[in-house]
Amino acid sequence: MSEEKNLRKGERTRLRLKKTALRLFAERGVENVSIRDIQIAAGQKNNGSISYYFASRDALIREIVADIAKLLDADNNHRLDELEKRGGPKTIREVAEILLPVLPPQADEDNPYRLRFFTAVLISRRELLFEATAGADGATRRSFRHIQRLAPEMPPEILRQRLMLMMLFALSAGASMEAARGERKGWRNLWSFESAEPNLADAMAGIITAPVSQQTRLKVGLRKNRAD
């Protein structure tokens, strides 16, 4: 409610619709929630309330994605700035810590469904997510440049794949971590341990630094030979 108290009625309604949509999309999946579901859950009697505030269902999803991306990007940029001031990053593990899918505490308390929503959109509406985050991916791009500088030598296509795999893994893990805050019992064998978060950073770094097998290198070579 802290976000809403100083807003005008129309702005409060708009924010309530976004928060309700975010929660429903996170809980049910993006494709399983209708405009009507959101209106009812938000307590809106006017059937046209969402279309009044948002041009379309996709526009609503896009705006929520952009909001979350800006939060993540701002926090990650700040932490990366601090690391660079100290002469880092010097290891991929340090970069992985920056990219940990953890929102600032105040943002997480205000709406504890953001990472699950973000992951749901990534799964079912990947292109929409990329469009919505195009202006809020500065920290990720900076981090990737550091990883490319620090990573063991490997075929460029393998490193690109590993960067994407690392982020996919991190986001799904972050969504799991977020859900665990409300369901500690169900995740007691993972996120209840203080070691879980730093271990996640270890695993993210490990995706990049794991040796490239001969089988994988052979596949890269075969593809190049076929193209020649």
pLDDT digits (tens, 9 = 90+) for 14-57: 888 999 999 999 999 999 999 889 999 988 877 677 888 888 89
CA–CA separation, 156 vs 59, rounded Å? 35
Q: Judge contact between 150 and 89, C-beta under 8 A.
A: yes
Which ranges constitute the DSSP H helices of the chain?
Answer: 9-28, 35-41, 49-53, 57-85, 92-98, 105-110, 114-124, 126-132, 138-150, 156-180, 196-209, 214-227
The reply to whether 109 and 207 lie within a common domain is: yes
pLDDT of residue 188: 73
The reply to whether 142 and 157 lie within a common domain is: yes
The reply to whether 103 and 47 lie within a common domain is: no
User: Which H or E run contains 46?
Assistant: none
Report the domain count for the chain.
2
Q: Judge contact between 116 and 179, C-beta under 8 A.
A: yes
The reply to whether 66 and 158 lie within a common domain is: yes
Q: Which domain holds residue 43?
A: 1-54
| Residues contacting 79, CB < 8 A, separation 6+ | 97, 98
The CATH number of the domain where 49 resides is what? 1.10.10.60
pLDDT of residue 1: 46
The reply to whether 38 and 68 lie within a common domain is: no
Q: What is the pLDDT along the chain (228 residues), one digit of tens a residue?
A: 455 555 576 788 888 899 999 999 999 999 999 988 999 998 887 767 788 888 889 999 999 999 999 999 999 999 999 999 999 999 999 999 999 988 765 555 567 899 999 999 999 999 999 999 998 999 999 999 999 999 999 999 999 999 999 999 999 999 998 888 777 666 778 888 899 999 999 999 999 999 999 999 999 976 655 555
pLDDT of residue 196: 92
pLDDT of residue 55: 87
Would you tell me how many other CB atoms lie within 10 Å of the CB of residue 98?
22
Model pTM above 0.95:
no
The reply to whether 8 and 76 lie within a common domain is: no
